[in-house]
Amino acid sequence: MIKDNVLYVANAGDCKAVVLSKDEAEKYACKNLSTTFSSNKKYEQERLKKEHPGEDDIVIQKSEKACYVKGNLMPTRAFGDLRLKH
């Protein structure tokens, strides 16, 4: 959302916020505005393991590209996942 020439960005789950802009040469450039919160990402796996010591099943890798929190959910931060928060 842009209000008073300020860009506001919200992010949840595994959705990524990006902005597309045009430079002086009329070429488009894409810039990431947020981080992907997915259990496929090593930084999120490390964060989860640190925050949940002793829970060997906090991240379950089912294939090369499919990791899940507790075997159920790929996004590591999402609405509606209260059963995974405790």
**Burial class, 55, CB count within 10 angstroms (exposed 0-12 / middle 13-18 / buried 19+):** exposed
User: Mean pLDDT score of the chain, rounded to an integer?
Assistant: 82
Q: Give residue-wise pLDDT tens across range 16-50.
A: 778 888 888 888 888 888 888 888 889 999 999 99
- Residue 64: what pLDDT? 79
As given in the structure block, the two tokens for residue 72 are 């159920």
Q: Where exactly are the structural domains of the chain?
A: 8-32, 42-77
- By the 8 A CB rule, do 62 and 1 touch? no
Longest dimension (CA), the chain: 54
